[in-house]
Amino acid sequence: MVLALASSETRPVFWHFTVGLRITWYVLAVTSVLVFAYGVARPIVKWRRGHGGSWPPVPWPEVPGRLVNGLKLLFSHVTISRRDRVAGWGHRAIFFGFMILFAGTVVLGFDTDFTTPVFGWNYFHGPFYLAYKEALNVFGTALVLGLLVMMVRRAVIRPAKLNYARPDRQADEPQFNRRVYSIGDWVFVGVLLVIALTGFLLEGVRIAMDHPGYAGTQFGGWLVAQLLTGVSYGTLGGLRHGLWWFHGLLAITFVSSIPYTKATHMLTSYLSLSFRNPTAARRLAPIPPERADEKAGYGSLADFSPLHLMHLDACTKCGRCHEACPANASGRPLSPRDVILELREQANAAFSGTSVGGVLGGLLAGQANGNGNGFSESVFGVGRVHEETIWACTQCNACVEICPVGIEQAPIINQLRRRLTEEGELDSLLQSTLQTIHKSGNSFGENRRRRGRWTRELDFEIKDARKEPVDLLWFVGDYASFDPRSQEVTRSLARILHRAGIDFGILFDGERNAGNDVRRVGEEGLFEALAQENIEAISACEFNRILTSDPHSLNTLRNEYPQLGAEWTVVHHTELLRELLQAGRLPLAGPLSYRVTYHDPCHLGRLNGEYDNPRAIMELLGCNLVEMRRCRDNSFCCGAGGGRIWIPEAPGKERMSEIRIREALEIPGVELFVVACPKDVTMYEDAIKTSGNSERIRLREVTELVEEAMAPQEAAAEPVPAG
């Protein structure tokens, strides 16, 4: 009996509909699909206006694999949950709730419009229908809960990252607070909530009419049915019709509006995640040979790559990059979110005049028509992207690393800098530093013959790797070679290597600035010239690995020199020191037992994924390492990167390095601020002094800790094993 009931259980889709009403519904549904499809085509044509114009932005054979990877990221929600579990779970509930409800509508439509009329096969009844109903009930509830979480977050918790006020605009400027974005967000969640709730209402009315004594698991529908107890059958019927049309029209309007509203991120974020380049920030794109005669970088939207134009549309305004950006946190006029949104607004305005014919023509043409429709206007200027915004960036990559949809904010900013640099729109001190590097091969303006002078205070000779083979070729870098405080660390490292019996040598005056930061300033020509000189000098040497203590040099030697045909194994000194300690080649006198904290350099951590070696060293030395609030991939930039070390700070602003020292001092009893980068040595020695904390915390480079822990030479006959 139960089986018989279950097998007949179903629900009519068009309850008491006349033929005219059915036709009206189908006409509206098809119109909505066409409006949706046109909305999807428009941005593709817009992205094709970028330089090169091809779409998709990767070769066709790569597309299926990319799309599958994108799906994995999307369904796992790993990028959305990072450092924000509330948003992660809220979004998961909305995403899966919406997807299952949407899939449920498709399944129902397939039965109603295809299998039943074509094959006479109606599967929408019995156990299948009951399971379907339960699934939609559960996921509909999840959708409602997820939307409520997001609403509470926006209205009650109000995290700073969801405040759309722009740090690059004054409070009285019209673009300052972007109220229209907040309204759009509320409309988006509000409409979805109404769609979900009217679905439950409709189900409740149906239960009240067809199963008045219902006591199943459809909680939402049951609750509504209880509230309707006593309402006449006729009134319920009218309500059922009214709700059906309201719910249905809202749903198809929502679908058709997806490509035109905030909901577009449902499509663009997936594409962005699928086609992103995970190495984009550590390996900046070279200038393509076919553009060698054109102006470098991005000056107008027509210069953007189609991928970067697509990134602009993928931004969900989640504000994570805005929150992570050290420039924004320290009061500079930069928010990576606002750079992306500003450029998006410009692109939309430039494309807004494109007619339906223009879109269809652009879709059919394999290649874009490049300039035109405002795409060739400068992106810089009053009310547009401000130059000071672009120069505030330290290229620390915190934005790229946290963006849940894979947008390349830092590489886009780098492209904008290339154009500004080419046009001479840069700080005069930065310009003169670049000229100095060009002339002398180093940022200190020192005679290149003095590069190896730091070795004079050692009581042993360092090999010239240009004259004899070595196991390790040590690329010292500018700061470690010339800055007096960093020279102490450099000599310390040399003494350790010497005592460990490492066969190493340096290039002396054959070395040039590695070019990493020159490239991040946007001076691509000078970068290539420096890299070529280094490649020539290094290629003439015989060695097994390159060693460097400078994460900036490490990044470009390891990741960017291969673009110029030079590929070597490049290790950071923390990797080597860990190896030596673990192999027992550095005899220790005993544990150091300092209470320390460690600052991850952006170029070693975020850009190259090396977090563990320095920490392992401190553990082997017996230090008590306590992490700062922001550590590892969430480390806070010292402010030196991207050429910022060569640009004077605006007076009255707190420095990023001082903010970081304050953060370290939140740790009770911390004694040492440990770093693993010569630029960090400079930045933080200075910040400890300028913030008046010389009595409270001292700076140590990892190398200095190792040397301090080592047994004196004469006592080394009986070494204490590491760890």
Interface residue list for ligand SF4 (CB under 6 A): 315-321, 324-327, 334, 336-337, 340, 393-399, 402-403, 405, 407, 409-410, 413
Nearest-approach distance from CB 391 to ligand SF4, in angstroms: 10
Is the CB of 398 or the CB of 592 nearer to ligand SF4? Answer: 398
Is the CB of 167 or the CB of 477 nearer to ligand SF4? Answer: 167
Nearest-approach distance from CB 643 to ligand SF4, in angstroms: 11
Non-local CB neighbours of 248 within 8 Å, separated by 6+ positions: 25
Nearest-approach distance from CB 682 to ligand SF4, in angstroms: 18
Nearest-approach distance from CB 337 to ligand SF4, in angstroms: 4
Inter-residue contact 198 to 140 (CB < 8 Å): no
Inter-residue contact 415 to 380 (CB < 8 Å): no
- Pick the closest to residue 572 from 596, 601, 543, 597 (CA basis): 601
Query: How many angstroms separate the Cα of 526 from the Cα of each of 292, 297, 410, 656?
Result: 14, 14, 20, 28
Q: Round to whole Å and give the CA distance between 40 and 264.
A: 9
Tokens 């909901």 found at:
263
Is the CB of 205 or the CB of 340 nearer to ligand SF4? Answer: 340
Inter-residue contact 548 to 574 (CB < 8 Å): no
Nearest-approach distance from CB 603 to ligand SF4, in angstroms: 11
- Reading the block at residue 310, the tokens are 């697509």
The H-assigned helical ranges of 111-166 are: 126-152
Residue 597, helix vs strand vs coil: strand
Nearest-approach distance from CB 273 to ligand SF4, in angstroms: 11
Q: Round to whole Å and give the CA distance between 459 and 462.
A: 10
Non-local CB neighbours of 296 within 8 Å, separated by 6+ positions: 287, 418, 419, 421, 422, 522, 524, 525
Is the CB of 142 or the CB of 399 nearer to ligand SF4? Answer: 399
Is the CB of 304 or the CB of 475 nearer to ligand SF4? Answer: 304
Is the CB of 240 or the CB of 552 nearer to ligand SF4? Answer: 552
Q: Round to whole Å and give the CA distance between 387 and 426.
A: 8
Q: Cis (ω within 30 of 0) for the bond into 56?
A: yes
Nearest-approach distance from CB 405 to ligand SF4, in angstroms: 5
Q: Round to whole Å and give the CA distance between 708 and 592.
A: 8
- Pick the closest to residue 368 from 295, 305, 299 (CA basis): 305
- Pick the closest to residue 710 from 614, 571, 585, 573 (CA basis): 585
The H-assigned helical ranges of 500-572 are: 516-521, 524-539, 551-555
Is the CB of 201 or the CB of 393 nearer to ligand SF4? Answer: 393
Nearest-approach distance from CB 21 to ligand SF4, in angstroms: 42
Is the CB of 340 or the CB of 538 nearer to ligand SF4? Answer: 340
Q: Round to whole Å and give the CA distance between 710 and 586.
A: 7
What single letter denotes the amino acid at residue 263? A
Q: Round to whole Å and give the CA distance between 106 and 430.
A: 59
Is the CB of 337 or the CB of 558 nearer to ligand SF4? Answer: 337
Q: Round to whole Å and give the CA distance between 85 and 678.
A: 36
The H-assigned helical ranges of 48-124 are: 63-76, 78-81, 85-110
- Pick the closest to residue 681 from 446, 484, 411 (CA basis): 484
Nearest-approach distance from CB 265 to ligand SF4, in angstroms: 8
On the CB side of 529, CA atoms within 13 Å amount to 13
- Pick the closest to residue 477 from 452, 455, 502, 501 (CA basis): 452
Nearest-approach distance from CB 185 to ligand SF4, in angstroms: 12
What single letter denotes the amino acid at residue 69? N
Q: Round to whole Å and give the CA distance between 581 and 711.
A: 13
Inter-residue contact 114 to 436 (CB < 8 Å): no
Nearest-approach distance from CB 639 to ligand SF4, in angstroms: 9
Q: Round to whole Å and give the CA distance between 665 and 654.
A: 16
Nearest-approach distance from CB 272 to ligand SF4, in angstroms: 9
Nearest-approach distance from CB 314 to ligand SF4, in angstroms: 7
Is the CB of 413 or the CB of 722 nearer to ligand SF4? Answer: 413
Is the CB of 335 or the CB of 553 nearer to ligand SF4? Answer: 335
- Pick the closest to residue 554 from 564, 565, 568, 540 (CA basis): 568
Long-range own/partner contacts, residues 23-27 (CB < 8 A, 24 or more apart): 25/248
Nearest-approach distance from CB 511 to ligand SF4, in angstroms: 27
Is the CB of 84 or the CB of 701 nearer to ligand SF4? Answer: 84
- Pick the closest to residue 685 from 576, 599, 626, 578 (CA basis): 599
Inter-residue contact 326 to 59 (CB < 8 Å): no
Is the CB of 403 or the CB of 497 nearer to ligand SF4? Answer: 403
Is the CB of 201 or the CB of 426 nearer to ligand SF4? Answer: 426
Is the CB of 202 or the CB of 399 nearer to ligand SF4? Answer: 399
Is the CB of 326 or the CB of 587 nearer to ligand SF4? Answer: 326
- Pick the closest to residue 708 from 668, 680, 672 (CA basis): 672
Q: Round to whole Å and give the CA distance between 198 and 357.
A: 38
Is the CB of 201 or the CB of 410 nearer to ligand SF4? Answer: 410
Is the CB of 326 or the CB of 477 nearer to ligand SF4? Answer: 326
Beta-bridge mates of residue 548: 572
Nearest-approach distance from CB 321 to ligand SF4, in angstroms: 3
Nearest-approach distance from CB 64 to ligand SF4, in angstroms: 25
Nearest-approach distance from CB 328 to ligand SF4, in angstroms: 6
Nearest-approach distance from CB 637 to ligand SF4, in angstroms: 6
Burial class (CB in 10 A: 0-12, 13-18, 19+), 379: buried
Tokens 């042993």 found at:
460
